[in-house]
Structure 1
């Protein structure tokens, strides 16, 4: 078959050409590397020619060969680092370079000797402590932690790159914190909040106890992070206890603390200042929806008590959560939530409203009537917590309107939220 033999001949020719091209490219690449090995940048070559006894320029050559080239020219780099040591054996950084070049090639014995020499020359340099700790990680983790802890004490900013290594190598978060972080409260706070993303509740409790033992380490963000962690893991009893501690710590000196201490709904009258961002305190958005102002204010239409004030400028179809508040409930318990609403010139039929969502296998929701127009009302919501319900969220919202006159204008004030246990849920009140 003549056509088959012609195709075979063409394929053979194409294959031969492809192999020739590949061989030429490979040869050029190897020649380029060989030339590249000794073609240093002028920023190194020219100063070195003017001062050949300066070990820093020889080190720069080694760094360029070892750290800048791909793949690294390890043998040539080691020669430069050795030359730098010969020129200046009293500079600790040259010993670190020599150690690292040997270590990366698997020569651990000369690497460790060089690192020890670097530490003898500069015992208080965090770089030397850090790399020796890194070197020991696969050999003696406890010994490595000693050098890493010393590094962190000198350079706290290095901690965030070090502690995940110990987590990855199997150390519990509490052991890591106690071994590495000393008495630095800021580092313990950062480590605690970062560890909460993956540790189990028992380890979280242990780490919280360790954090509590560090002076000045219990800051509001750490309290809030642990409270949120307990809620996520449905540890409601510990969350209740933690909130009692938070409330006493942040509000215990205020006259209104006692009246709120055992209330089912914290700070429902807004008379306590918002000293804690999170937990059972009122939470307002950092960036209110465009066209609205949200504040805890004493400038109210009816009186001068503090209340949740919502202002709409009439330029936007505002939508979303305007404020939120969390509270505890008991499973299968009936509740009645009452609150005052004062509205002044609220336009559109989609005014603000209150919604309560009780978490469980299925979230139970109840919603008040929207506040529209002008008026002053006592509203109420009745609900029963499901069998697995321990946690509820109250939100003040406004839904987007689909009507032509959807841009909301006016003001509303919400105040005097009171939550009570009842025997049987009552009908909801409407404005």
Structure 2
């Protein structure tokens, strides 16, 4: 019995000794493995199966080696093959290996890896970005923009970054729409608005034509484009774009009335060659279908008596050619207080024309306000303003309502 006991004790002592030795050398094994597989991933793979598995150091080594010579880059590929073997479903591992192949000028292998990455992560922005970058590196710009477009679908927040890349492309703005937008209405319109602030007029014009050809140009986009052209003093082109885009919705526009939507038969587009107004404290501006001088609608301005308003309440841009012009607007007022009422002002872009009508207060039935003037020189941009100046009286806070209708500017 004693011999059995002594044998068991000896066996336990041997086990403890072996375990203690293993624990003592374990850190060194880990260190040696991490050090060794930097140049021998096959050895690390063998060690990993039994003792150690360090993906992080494996990938770090590959990153470092990718900056080295051809031999180092080949070792990096081996490292990344091993990393991929451990997680073959990871799109990131496929992309890492694809980049490593590209570093070795093995384009076909790199392309295969990036295609696998996209298959596994079709809506992961970093994967789509890296794939786009790969195609840019091999000078396939159209394919690069295709994957940038897919990235925009998955992550619209990156649009400014991507749009900047599109604009810098040597292929031109039309190719960016063809290959990088994927017929997405909202993204295409966002890109056009980006071009308005960053591209030359010629490229903006090409982009507008593309949008029209693909039925993606709406009235809101036309407003932005026409505003752009007006700032560039391209008045004839602005008028042409306006006619083709929204001008047909007003039969009287340019036949002969130069004021689009002068009868307020449709909601103002807030820019372009239509009416524009912003929110003003103490004032409400809206279309009114309950009372009109002609047609079915007019514009109503209501003052609540909270402020002594001093503002351009409403504006409208008009392109006027040289010649004699007659302006008329019909206005009705209801209990409009103070000595400063509502009137119109016309001013041109060169400040050679600055005219004002009479101002109406109190209670008035439909009353015409007229101006006669001559435009000389080249075509000009006129701004029609509905104005009210501040009153100097003690009871200066204006209250009451105004209706405006049938605003026209006719060249004689």
Pair in the same fold by TM > 0.5: yes
Q: In 1, distance between residues paired with 2:154 and 2:240?
A: 34
Equivalent residues in 2 for 1:99-114, closer than 5 Å? 107=103, 109=105, 113=109
Residue 112 (structure 2) aligned to one of 111, 116, 128? 116
Post-superposition offset of 1:243: 1.9
Q: Tell me if 1:268 matches 2:259.
A: no
In structure 2, C-alpha distance between the alignment counterparts of 1:264 and 1:88, rounded to whole Å: 69
What SS does the aligned partner of 1:269 have?
coil
Q: Which residue of 1 aligns with 2:26?
A: none
**2:306 corresponds to which of 298, 301, 315:** 315
Partner of 1:186: 186
Alignment match of 2:277 (pick from 276, 284, 300): 284
Larger Rg: 2
Deviations 1:283-324 (A, max 9, x none): 232x2x111111121344989952221111112122322212
Using a 3 Å threshold, how does the CA distance of structure 1 residues 207 and 199 change in structure 2: closer, same or farther?
Answer: same
Contact conserved, 2:329 with 2:405, CA < 8 A, in 1? Answer: yes
The CA deviation string for residues 69-96 of structure 1, in whole angstroms up to 9 with x for no partner, is xxx9954998996764342244332232
Contact (CA 8 Å) 2:131, 2:147: kept in 1 or not? no
The alignment covers a number of residue pairs equal to: 345
Contact 1:134 1:144 survives alignment (8 Å): no
Q: CA 1:229 to 1:302, structure 2 compared with 1: closer, same or farther past 3 Å?
A: closer
State the Cα distance separating 1:356 from its structure 2 match.
1.0
Matched, 1:329 2:320: yes
Work out which of the residue numbers 348, 362, 374 in structure 1 matches 2:363. Answer: 374
Instruction: Please give the TM-score of this superposition, normalised by the length of structure 1.
Output: 0.68
Aligned to 1:384, which of 374, 379, 382?
A: 374
Q: Counterpart in 1 of 2:168?
A: 168
* Structure 1 portions without partners, runs of 5+: 1-37, 39-51, 67-71, 252-256, 423-431
TM-score by length of 2: 0.71
1:183 Cα deviation (Å)? 2.7
Cα gap change, 1:173/1:155 in structure 2, threshold over 3 Å: closer, same or farther? closer
1:258 is paired with a residue of what secondary structure? Answer: coil
Give the whole-Å Cα distance in 2 for the aligned partners of 1:302 and 1:163: 48
Check the 8 A contact 2:301/2:401 in 1, yes or no: yes
Deviation at 1:236, TM superposition (A): 2.2
Instruction: Quote the offset at 1:389 in angstroms.
Output: 4.0
> Structure 2: which 5+ residue stretches go unaligned?
1-33, 35-47, 67-75
Q: Deviations over 1:301-348 (max 9, x none)?
A: 9899522211111121223222122222113x2212122222222222
What is the aligned-residue RMSD (CA, Å)? 3.7
**Cα separation, partners in 2 of 1:81 and 1:322, compared to 1, 3 Å:** farther
